[in-house]
Amino acid sequence: MEKLLIKGGAPLKGEVVVSGSKNASLPLLAAALLAGGASVLRGVPALRDVKTFGSLIGNMGAGFTFEDARAEINTAGIGNFAAPYELVKTMRASVLVLGPLVARYGRARVSLPGGCAIGARPINLHLVGLEKMGARIQLEEGYVIAEAGRLNGASLYFDIPTVTGTENLMMAAALAKGTTVLENAAREPEVVDLANALISMGARIEGAGGSLIEIEGVDELKPYSYDVIPDRIEAATFAVAAAITQGDLLIRNVRPDHMDAVSIKLRETGAEVARTPEGFLRVRGTGRPKAVNITTMPYPGFPTDVQAQFMALMSIARGTSIINETVFENRFMHVPELKRMGADINLKGGLATINGMEGLKGAEVMATDLRASASLVLAALAAEGQTVIHRLYHLDRGYERMEDKLRAVGADVVRIS
Ligand code: EPU
């Protein structure tokens, strides 16, 4: 199995280009199922999750090609409405095909995603929403079996603002009869990107980006030709890389307005974070970071997807910081690994108390999920000596050529098998 070898200590300097957003690309690929013909998505990152999604819709009979960040999805041949366990277990976002399949084809058989390293992650809110729109849903042998005639618009309220739940139901509502109102909807930029693509397909959607989204269903949607937004989590990971190595990075292909919470918190640690006249982000470390508390929250709050990376930074901060994880109950799998590198972290429920150390030391560590892997890479970049990161496949699910990008700005990193 492949491993990453990182020798820490070098300040990262130079320019890094962020890829297209993983968490925007996946719902956009699913949205192609809502239309007949070929949709084209540009700026798609070459990631394991994107390839898995290609296999998923290929398995349904759709055409899928992916080259040079351009994905083309042709729905003409679709004849199988299933998302099998083998694919869903490697990528929970497979559940995003549920809304489009039920809305356009009136049926779907989608494996229930189980719990995962970061929490139980149920999809009850997706299912209740589809039922309220008229779908008949049964759970059989670990599969969601959904059937429907044309869906009806409905007034839906999310107990928790769920990102993929909002996306699934927004896609379903786009083809339903009548008006759907989604209250307490997720406000993430990826939801807005999906809404914009759906609007370009002929959907009538208002309010995406706010917590109340109104969708007036239409009879038919046409394929899209669309550019995905940059990955704000990858950008944030590079921003922390600059701060943790006392480096100076110009981060290109970024939407600074999607990164306000992370930028503000990084500035509180003492890092310089500036938007350049071209609209890029420049991040510069200015000495040992100051301890800062964070609480993860749905957007526009501090993203749970940057919590692990920020914890690496706090591990070497001056003082004690508290990280409160409120989105996922178990998203602290990186803690024991960071401790192997010398971090001083105490966990109690959703709270991590981090006593900043003067430095970390290289060690053998294991990636346990996607963002935990990124946190270990960041810790390794700052640590004294060599770190070996095992189970790299987690990192490859969500970061495109991460080690190449890091090497280009001065990191000593190699992948070995
Ligand atoms: N929840 C429920 N019931 C539901 C749906 C969600 O209780 O039916 C709970 C979850 O268990 C969680 C909270 O609601 O406690 C929020 O979960 P959400 O549904 O928003 O998460 P998600 O849609 O499954 C997406 C991203 C995650 C990201 C979260 C939160 C995609 C493909 N995934 O997941 O990304 O952490 O939103 O922002 O968009 C990652 O990229 O590393 C990643 C895990």
CA of 296 to the centre of ligand 1 (A): 13
Pairing of β 351-355 and β 344-348: antiparallel
For residue 330, name the pLDDT band (cuts at 50, 70, 90).
Answer: confident
Scanning 221-302, the segments in alpha helix (DSSP H) are 232-244, 260-268
Task: Measure the CA angle with vertex 241, ends 239 and 247; round to 5°.
Answer: 95
73 and 116 part of one domain: yes
Whether 12 and 242 have beta carbons less than 8 Å apart is answered as: yes
Residue 291 is part of which domain span? Answer: 3-19+230-416
- For residue range 48-74, what is the model confidence (pLDDT) as tens digits? 999 999 999 999 999 999 999 999 999
120 pLDDT exceeds 80? Answer: no
Residues 188 and 158 in one domain: yes
Residues 220 and 242 in one domain: no
Q: What is the per-residue DSSP string for 55-121?
A: HHHHHTT-EEEEETTEEEEE-TT----EE-HHHHTT-GGGGGGHHHHHHHHSEEEEEPP--BTTB--
> What Rg, from alpha-carbon coordinates, does the chain have?
21
Helix (H, G, I), strand (E, B) or coil at 136: strand
* Amino acid in the structure at residue 314: M
Confidence of residue 407 (pLDDT cuts 50, 70, 90): very high
* Residue where one domain finishes, among candidates 185, 203, 227: 227
243 and 197 fall within a common domain: no
| Contact between residue 76 and residue 36 where contact means Cβ atoms under 8 Å apart | yes
Is it true that the peptide bond before 303 is cis, omega within 30 degrees of 0?
Answer: no
Tell me the backbone φ, ψ of residue 288, rounded to 5 degrees: -60, 130
Q: Which residue type does 30 have?
A: A
Final residue before a domain boundary, out of 197, 227, 257: 227
Q: What is the pLDDT of residues 80-98, one digit of tens each?
A: 999 999 999 889 999 999 9
pLDDT value at residue 121 = 85
Q: Which amino acid, residue 380?
A: A
Active site residues: 116
Structure tokens at 204: 């009538």
The CATH number of whichever domain residue 204 belongs to comes to 3.65.10.10
Regarding whether 210 and 68 lie in a shared domain, the answer is: yes
Q: How many domains does the chain have?
A: 2
- Split at pLDDT 50, 70, 90, the class of 118 is confident
Q: What is the DSSP string of 12-67?
A: PEEEEE--B-HHHHHHHHHHGGGSSSEEEEES----HHHHHHHHHHHHTT-EEEEE
More confident residue, 23 or 119: 23
Q: How far apart are the C-alpha atoms of 110 and 267, rounded to whole Å?
A: 43
How much distance in Å is there from the Cα of 385 to the middle of ligand 1? Answer: 36
CA gap 64, 50 in Å, rounded: 11
Evaluated on CA atoms 309, 313, 316, 318, the torsion sign reads negative
Q: How far apart are CA 339 and CA 360, in angstroms?
A: 9
Let me know whether 141 and 254 are in one domain. Answer: no
Nearest CA to ligand 1 atom 7: 122
> For the segment 143-164, what is each residue's pLDDT rounded down to a tens digit?
999 999 999 999 999 999 999 9
Q: What pLDDT is stored for residue 60 in this prediction?
A: 96
Q: Ligand 1 atom closest to Cα of 120?
A: 11
What spacing in Å lies between the alpha carbon of 179 and ligand 1's midpoint? 25
Q: Which two tokens stand for residue 64?
A: 């899928």
Distance CA(177)–CA(66), nearest Å, equals 34
Percent of the chain with pLDDT over 90: 94
Atom of ligand 1 nearest to the CA of 329: 15
Do 216 and 249 lie in one domain? The reply is: no
User: Are both 278 and 394 inside the same structural domain?
Assistant: yes
Ligand 1 centroid–CA 94 distance in Å is 13
Give the pLDDT mean for 101-118: 88
Rounded to an integer, the average pLDDT of 333-356 is: 97
pLDDT at 167 over 90: yes
Q: Cα separation of 339 and 222, whole Å?
A: 52
User: Are 134 and 81 found together in one domain?
Assistant: yes
Burial class (CB in 10 A: 0-12, 13-18, 19+), 75: buried
- Residue 251 is predicted with a pLDDT of 98
User: If pLDDT is split at 50, 70 and 90, which confidence band does 280 have?
Assistant: very high
Q: Whose CA is nearest to atom 20 of ligand 1?
A: 162
**Nearest CA, atom 6, ligand 1:** 162
Cα of 125 from ligand 1 centre, angstroms: 11
Residues 219, 240, single domain; the answer is no
CA 314 to chain centre: 22
Task: Give the C-alpha separation, 4 to 392, whole Å.
Answer: 7
Residue 307 near residue 325, CB atoms below 8 Å = yes
Question: Would you list the DSSP string of 149-206?
Answer: SS-B--EEE-SS--HHHHHHHHHHHHTSBSEEEEES----HHHHHHHHHHHHTT-EEE
List the residue whose alpha carbon is closest to atom 37 of ligand 1.
163
Neighbour count for residue 77 (Cβ, 10 Å): 11
| Banded pLDDT at 1 (limits 50, 70, 90) | confident
Sign, CA torsion 54/59/65/67 = positive
Q: Whose CA is nearest to atom 36 of ligand 1?
A: 305
CA distance 262 to 309: 11
pLDDT at 398 over 70: yes
Q: Whole-number mean pLDDT of the chain?
A: 96
pLDDT exceeds cutoff 80 at 166: yes
Q: Which phi and psi (to 5°) does residue 359 adopt? A: -165, 170
Regarding whether 176 and 70 lie in a shared domain, the answer is: yes
* Separation between Cα atoms, residue 137 and residue 413, nearest integer Å: 49
DSSP 8-state secondary structure symbol assigned to residue 411: -
Angle at 214 between CA 213 and CA 216, to 5 degrees: 150
User: Rounded distance, CA 57 to CA 33, Å?
Assistant: 9
Q: How do residues 238-279 score in pLDDT, each as one tens digit?
A: 999 999 999 999 999 999 999 999 999 999 999 999 999 999
d(CA 202, CA 199): 5
Q: Which of 172, 200, 227 is the last residue of a domain?
A: 227
Name the pairing type of β-strands 248-252 and 13-17: parallel
Instruction: Identify the residues whose C-beta falls under 6 Å from ligand 1.
Output: 23, 26, 92-93, 119-126, 160, 162-165, 186, 190, 304-305, 327-328, 370-371, 398
Is 115's pLDDT higher than 70?
no
Same domain, 89 and 163: yes
